[in-house]
């Protein structure tokens, strides 16, 4: 039935002819609704109409159009416009990074906005390239696919709106998550010429996977839109939308099922873990993160690269598209250092398996593997900071961040235990090992929608497909690295988050090849969705009780957590059993009996397909339900003091500095900490003077510098509370504000190229003498901005 609904008819009767005449409108309308919704939520997010017009023009003419032409030239047309444009947008983002790097290396950022022009002229002037202005051999997608993808993208738009709704554009009274301010400072830095410096500590080289920030900086420079508006509002949803359509296209290529793409579009991006109301979550719920631009941005080049690797693994010729492999590898490494290793592991596993099976060297796979390993090595050299040294081996280290362990056995582990395993496991004896095993097993169950597709390897037919091994190996590697490595800020979870869409692609593929009648999939999926909504408390008037946390608000016990995990497991077993029974029962009713072809084996296939559909239904429904509820619920404004809040005057002063200081001017400031007041071993992650102020500082905040991140755990302090390594420089910087002299200002100007002083009395005392030695340019509440004049 589903195939019938999605198939194109060739009947030329008058009614059908009239219906075919409506097809362009029917297929265009869902995309128009998505664009309209996006413009609406942007405008509700206080983005001016002029910025909307410029950003929309930038996305179309500086990314999608040149990228589509280049992608068609390298890989051919997809045969339909939506996928052509999505693959084109992904290629355009890649080309933009190349153009940005050339502009930054030559100091010609003013020419960056014109980079698409040579591409467009070449495709207009060269006869052999002109055909790429049109869709190639047409392979149109059914109307229902367009509408299903439209619904999925509307969910993404709503998710983006929920993320930024509580993050107002400056200046306001309030606080921003420190990582957003950190990225904003990097965006400002990447508008300057190479070599880049860490803006928070001028003179220190910038070593970080910053290519997502390079995209945001490029968008700001090309459109003349403020970096704050691009970062906090504009860039996110179009990039996610591009990744969503890429994943849907990859799924269609692998499975041959049109309906599988929209399933992945929802479950692979906004879908969450399936924990059915348990008090124990499964870390790494979804691949998207508003607070981590690098994680969200990397999904686009990664999925484009996965598609290429699928063709390579299957022995298909890439032709000119080989040029994309090393470039995409380097962009992945420069956008998020955790993105490439799982794919390399998956490709390596594929090469080994097929060398073993066929007793011949899989040369294309080895060439691609060499390209990606070289890209990863080069990326580590160019981008990875010294903080990468804090990623070290400790099996099961993720337990430090999961309640049952952290609140019981992990209480005495210390801030940075140096041991092969979390010390609390051995200290807890047999009960400790039981708890650790139970937590890991529960994590595996909760993440089932992302790995259950590996059941494809059970069938001999699919074991012979290199693409199955590639995707399965990538997902396994992402999970393994997450549980093998340790990071002080749980950053090892990004290994897993990056492969979630890949895992869901594999899961949808497994559903498609089950060839189950559509009711066998739909009924368990709906049941799973209702179960997920009920256990999440989203269905009004119908909610299963959540599984409570053990103990009192002040204590938790191992026995209590084991009880919670046991109840959670029982609920999960019931969920699986009901889904399997529904699938087999519906199949029996649909065919009047369980299909005889295959007997019990076919029944088992139907049962697994039903359980998989139920898991995907629950995963997607919980996330979608949460998004819808958040959109419909008016946010409650924060009342009372906010410890990390900035004042309107502080933000306004920083924005004034960004507007009035020259691009290469350096600023000295007495702001270092969160909250603003400077105290010993404070949380040195303020970042707002560089982020909102847009300029390098002698010393602002050092919480993410290489030296202090590498010092995590020294004196039992986290990296954010370590002392600044150059105490002499810090004392000199702060002394300028508390006891300034003419000699100090001269030294700032000559040795550190300082032109401005940003003094905040909330951070520390400011000498009135400073107003005599430097020109007061702005007074805004607690902030005074001074200009250091030339001699």
Query: How do residues 264-305 score in pLDDT, each as one tens digit?
Result: 999 999 999 999 989 898 899 999 999 999 999 999 999 999
pLDDT for res 635: 78
pLDDT for res 555: 64
Average pLDDT over residues 738-746: 96
CA neighbor of 140 nearest in space, from 1, 23, 16: 23
Residue 550 — pLDDT band, cuts 50, 70, 90?
confident
Please say whether the beta carbons of 490 and 283 come within 8 A.
Answer: yes
Most confident listed range (164-168, 353-357, 494-498, 626-630): 494-498
Of the listed ranges 298-307, 493-502, 588-597, 679-688, the least confidently predicted one is: 588-597
Peptide bond before 337: cis, by omega within 30 degrees of 0?
Answer: no
By CB atoms closer than 10 A (0-12, 13-18, 19+), residue 406 is middle
pLDDT for res 12: 47
pLDDT for res 639: 66
Which letter does DSSP use for residue 696 in this model? E
**Contacts for 47 with CB less than 8 Å, ≥ 6 apart:** 169, 229, 233, 234
pLDDT for res 271: 95
**Contacts for 28 with CB less than 8 Å, ≥ 6 apart:** none
Residue 46, Ramachandran bin (φ over 0: left; ψ between -120 and 50: alpha; else beta): left
Please say whether the beta carbons of 297 and 240 come within 8 A.
Answer: no
Spatial separation of the C-alpha atoms in residues 176 and 198, rounded to whole Å: 20
Of the listed ranges 16-30, 58-72, 258-272, 416-430, the least confidently predicted one is: 16-30
The per-residue pLDDT for range 501-512, each reduced to its tens digit, is 999 999 999 999
Residue 570 clears pLDDT 90, i.e. is over it: yes
Of the listed ranges 194-198, 343-347, 589-593, the least confidently predicted one is: 589-593
Residue 552 — pLDDT band, cuts 50, 70, 90?
low
Percent of the chain with pLDDT over 70: 93
The per-residue pLDDT for range 510-536, each reduced to its tens digit, is 999 999 999 999 999 999 999 999 887
CA neighbor of 746 nearest in space, from 777, 783, 790, 785: 790
Entry pTM: 0.95
Residue 383 — pLDDT band, cuts 50, 70, 90?
very high
CA neighbor of 688 nearest in space, from 674, 704, 678, 698: 674
Please say whether the beta carbons of 788 and 749 come within 8 A.
Answer: yes
pLDDT for res 282: 87
Please say whether the beta carbons of 629 and 538 come within 8 A.
Answer: yes
Spatial separation of the C-alpha atoms in residues 577 and 570, rounded to whole Å: 10
By CB atoms closer than 10 A (0-12, 13-18, 19+), residue 662 is exposed
Residue 539 clears pLDDT 60, i.e. is over it: no
**Contacts for 91 with CB less than 8 Å, ≥ 6 apart:** 67, 68, 70, 71, 74, 304, 324
Spatial separation of the C-alpha atoms in residues 311 and 554, rounded to whole Å: 55
| Phi, then psi, of 274 in degrees rounded to 5 | -110, 95
Residue 465 clears pLDDT 90, i.e. is over it: yes
Residue 640 clears pLDDT 80, i.e. is over it: no
Mean pLDDT, the chain, whole residue set: 92
Residue 389 clears pLDDT 60, i.e. is over it: no
Average pLDDT over residues 297-318: 97
Of the listed ranges 144-153, 317-326, 536-545, 627-636, the least confidently predicted one is: 536-545
pLDDT for res 9: 39
Spatial separation of the C-alpha atoms in residues 203 and 733, rounded to whole Å: 14
pLDDT for res 6: 35
pLDDT for res 3: 36
Record the tokens describing residue 713, joined without a space: 């755990």
Residue 108 — pLDDT band, cuts 50, 70, 90?
very high
Spatial separation of the C-alpha atoms in residues 472 and 466, rounded to whole Å: 10
CA neighbor of 647 nearest in space, from 520, 763, 568: 763
pLDDT for res 577: 98
């Amino acid at each position: 039935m589903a195939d019938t609904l999605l198939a194109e008819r060739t009947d030329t009767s008058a009614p059908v002819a009239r219906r075919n005449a409506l097809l362009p409108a029917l297929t265009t309308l869902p995309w128009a609704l998505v664009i309209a919704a996006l413009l609406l939520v942007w405008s509700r997010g206080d983005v001016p109409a002029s910025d909307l017009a410029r950003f929309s023009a930038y996305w179309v003419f500086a990314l999608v159009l040149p990228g589509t032409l280049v992608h068609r030239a390298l890989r051919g047309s997809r045969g339909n416009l939506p996928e052509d444009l999505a693959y084109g947008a992904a290629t355009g983002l890649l080309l933009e990074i190349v153009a940005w790097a050339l502009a930054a290396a030559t100091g010609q950022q003013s020419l960056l906005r014109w980079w698409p022009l040579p591409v467009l002229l070449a495709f207009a002037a060269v006869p052999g390239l002109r055909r790429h202005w049109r869709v190639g051999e047409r392979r149109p997608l059914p109307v229902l696919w367009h509408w299903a993808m439209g619904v999925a993208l509307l969910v993404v738009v709503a998710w983006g709106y929920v993320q930024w709704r509580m993050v107002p554009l400056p200046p306001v009274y309030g606080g921003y998550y420190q990582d957003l301010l950190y990225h904003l400072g990097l965006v400002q830095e990447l508008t300057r010429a190479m070599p880049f410096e860490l803006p928070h500590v001028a003179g220190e080289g910038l070593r970080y996977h910053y290519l997502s920030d390079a995209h945001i900086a490029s968008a700001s420079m090309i459109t003349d839109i403020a970096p704050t508006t691009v970062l906090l509002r504009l860039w996110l949803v179009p990039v996610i939308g591009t990744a969503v359509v890429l994943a849907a296209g990859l799924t269609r290529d692998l499975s041959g099922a049109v309906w599988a793409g929209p399933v992945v579009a929802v479950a692979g991006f906004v879908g969450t873990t399936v924990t059915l109301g348990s008090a124990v979550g499964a870390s790494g719920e979804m691949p998207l993160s508003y607070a981590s631009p690098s994680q969200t941005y990397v999904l686009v080049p990664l999925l484009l690269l996965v598609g290429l690797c699928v063709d390579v693994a299957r022995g298909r010729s890439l032709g000119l598209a080989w040029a994309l492999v090393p470039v995409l590898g380097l962009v992945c490494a420069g956008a998020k250092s955790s993105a490439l290793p799982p794919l390399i592991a998956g490709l390596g596993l594929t090469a080994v398996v097929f060398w073993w099976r066929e007793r011949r060297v899989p040369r294309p796979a080895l060439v691609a593997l060499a390209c990606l390993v070289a890209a990863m090595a080069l990326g580590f050299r160019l981008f990875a900071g010294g903080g990468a040294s804090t990623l070290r081996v400790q099996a099961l280290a993720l337990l430090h961040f999961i309640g049952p362990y952290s609140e019981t056995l992990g209480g005495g582990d210390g801030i940075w235990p140096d041991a092969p395993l979390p010390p609390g496991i051995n200290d807890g004896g047999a009960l400790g090992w039981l708890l650790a095993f139970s937590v890991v097993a529960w994590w595996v169950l909760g993440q089932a929608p992302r790995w259950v597709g590996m059941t494809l390897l059970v069938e001999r037919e699919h074991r012979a497909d290199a693409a199955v091994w590639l995707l399965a190996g990538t997902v396994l590697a992402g999970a393994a690295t997450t549980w093998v490595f340790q990071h002080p800020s749980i950053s090892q979870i990004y290994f897993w988050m990056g492969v979630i869409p890949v895992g869901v692609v594999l899961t949808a593929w497994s559903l498609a090849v089950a060839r189950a009648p559509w009711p066998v999939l739909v009924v368990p999926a709906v049941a799973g969705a209702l179960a997920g909504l009920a256990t999440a408390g989203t269905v009004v008037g119908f909610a299963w009780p959540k599984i409570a946390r053990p103990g009192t608000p002040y204590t938790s016990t191992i026995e209590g957590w084991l009880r919670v995990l046991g109840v959670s497991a029982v609920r999960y077993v019931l969920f699986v059993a009901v889904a399997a029974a529904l699938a087999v029962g519906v199949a029996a009713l649909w065919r009047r009996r369980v299909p005889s072809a295959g007997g019990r084996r076919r029944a088992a296939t139907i049962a697994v397909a039903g359980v998989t559909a139920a898991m995907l239904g629950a995963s997607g429904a919980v996330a979608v339900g949460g998004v819808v509820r958040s959109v419909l619920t008016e946010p409650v404004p924060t009342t009372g003091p906010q410890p990390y809040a900035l004042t309107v005057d502080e933000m306004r002063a920083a924005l004034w500095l960004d507007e009035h200081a020259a691009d290469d001017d350096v600023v000295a400031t007495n702001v270092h900490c969160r909250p603003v007041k400077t105290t010993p071993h404070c949380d040195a992650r303020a970042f707002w003077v560089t982020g909102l102020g847009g300029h390098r500082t002698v010393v602002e905040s050092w919480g993410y510098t290489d030296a202090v991140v590498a010092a995590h755990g020294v004196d039992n302090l986290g990296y954010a509370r370590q002392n600044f390594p150059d105490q002499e420089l810090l004392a000199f910087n702060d002394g300028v504000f508390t006891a300034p002299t003419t000699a100090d200002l001269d030294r700032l100007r000559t040795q550190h190229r300082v032109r401005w002083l940003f003094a905040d009395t909330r951070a520390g005392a400011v000498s009135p003498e400073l107003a005599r030695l430097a020109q007061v340019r702005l007074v805004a509440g607690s902030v005074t901005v001074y200009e250091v004049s030339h001699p």
